[in-house]
Amino acid sequence: MTSLYAISGGKLRPAVRRALSNEKLIEDWVEADPSLLGLDAMIIGRQVPTDHGKFIDLLAMDATGGLIIIELKKDRTPREIVAQVLDYASWVRTLSTPEVYERAEKYLGDRLVTAFRKRFDQGIPERLNATHSMLIVASELDAASRRIVEYLSEEHGLAINTAFFNVFAADGREWLTTDFLLDQDAVEERSERKVRAPWSGYFFVNAGLGEHRSWVDMKRYGFISAGGGEFYSKRLQQLSINDEVFVYDKGNGYIGYGVVTREVVPAAEFMTSEGPLFDQPLAEPRMKRPGAAPEEAEHAVGIEWRKTVDPSHAKRFKGAFANQNIVCKLRDEATVDFLLSEFDVEKYGGV
């Protein structure tokens, strides 16, 4: 169970857990920002009518075109909500690509292809709803319902999980925290085995170049990084020593191939061959994020670069895989074959 403490006068004051006075607020918050639930997705429907006379609280789409059913417990019993979300999934799986377009554009008030590119900075997949997942949002779940969700995910590979919203109060202030019943990355991995292409063994990494990151620094000091919140930096935890990565520059293409040498640490603790990273003459000193809260800090993973190119000469082709995620597994066969050739992996590769 999550606990929260306020620090006052050098002492800890426990915050009191309380119920949210209006659960509709959660639906409003998630509709405005799905990342509250750790989702890299866009909302394409709210109170979506099914053919069975029921309404899905929120329907989202991820960068692969997969659909995500988000259902709030509200006043239903825990077992009822598990049954309800499975019923919704049985309907969602029947939606064709044209039907997804129709429902999404009615909600968005815009062309789906336009909204998708704006959100993910890539073209929309030709086929939508190739996969779907379920996320139950609740303040609590009874033991039997927890066992059912765990069983469906762990034994049958269904992409189902529960997110818990907790409200705490102390000294006249309120805080909202989120927890998950199951590790969401593990849930996705189990479900992907059933419907997606086999993993190539290589990772895709989004460089996130810009205000807080420089490719010059990454190449010179041997790292990749992410920050601005745990939603981004925690993705680097997927990388382990000896993992092979292809690095992508948003809007340009692939710019580097390398091998992980050190797992993620706060960038302030990252050691280069010349000493602490933040003691070096950085091309982008804003990487230090002065004054940022600890959870906003930049984090880094050590990389031995095998081959890199300037972003102006990034490697790409029409239809090449790209993704908004900081880290994900490369599965697209055409993209992998292209990168192996362009970055001379046979020559430079191998762990």
Q: Parse the chain into domains and list their residue ranges.
A: 16-195, 202-346
5-14, 54-63, 126-135, 211-220: the lowest-pLDDT one: 5-14
**Residue with structure tokens 């000469």?**
313
pLDDT one-digit tens code per residue, 208-251: 998 899 999 999 999 999 998 887 888 899 999 999 999 999 88
Q: What is the pLDDT of residue 179?
A: 75
CATH class name, domain 202-346 = alpha beta
Q: What is the CATH number of domain 16-195?
A: 3.40.1350.10
> Residue 81 has which token pair?
């909500």
User: In angstroms, rounded to a whole number, what is the distance separating the alpha carbons of residues 58 and 28?
Assistant: 10
Q: What is the pLDDT of residue 44?
A: 96
User: In angstroms, rounded to a whole number, what is the distance separating the alpha carbons of residues 272 and 70?
Assistant: 43
CB contact burial 86-122 (16+ within 10 A = b; e otherwise): eebbeebeebeeeebbebbbebbeeebeebbeebbeb
- The torsion defined by the Cα of 96, 99, 104 and 106, in degrees rounded to 10, comes to 180
Q: What is the pLDDT of residue 335?
A: 93
User: What secondary structure letter does DSSP report for 326?
Assistant: S
Q: What is the pLDDT of residue 59?
A: 96
Q: What is the pLDDT of residue 57?
A: 93
Residue 121 has pLDDT above 90, yes or no: no
Are the beta carbons of 61 and 128 closer than 8 angstroms?
A: yes
> Residue 121 has which token pair?
């900075």
Q: What is the pLDDT of residue 196?
A: 63
Q: What is the pLDDT of residue 152?
A: 86
Of 241, 351, 250, nearest to 303 by C-alpha is 241
Strand pairing report for 253-266 and 299-308: antiparallel
What average pLDDT is seen over the chain?
86
User: In angstroms, rounded to a whole number, what is the distance separating the alpha carbons of residues 284 and 332?
Assistant: 33
- The torsion defined by the Cα of 115, 121, 123 and 129, in degrees rounded to 10, comes to -70
Left, alpha or beta for 228 (phi > 0: left; psi -120 to 50: alpha)?
left
Could you tell me which residues are beta bridge partners of residue 6?
13
> What sections of the chain are H helices per DSSP?
24-32, 78-92, 97-108, 112-120, 143-154, 184-195, 215-221, 230-233, 333-342, 345-348
Q: What are phi and psi of 118, to 5 degrees?
A: -65, -40
14-23, 148-157, 180-189, 198-207: the lowest-pLDDT one: 14-23
Of 42, 69, 67, 39, nearest to 56 by C-alpha is 69
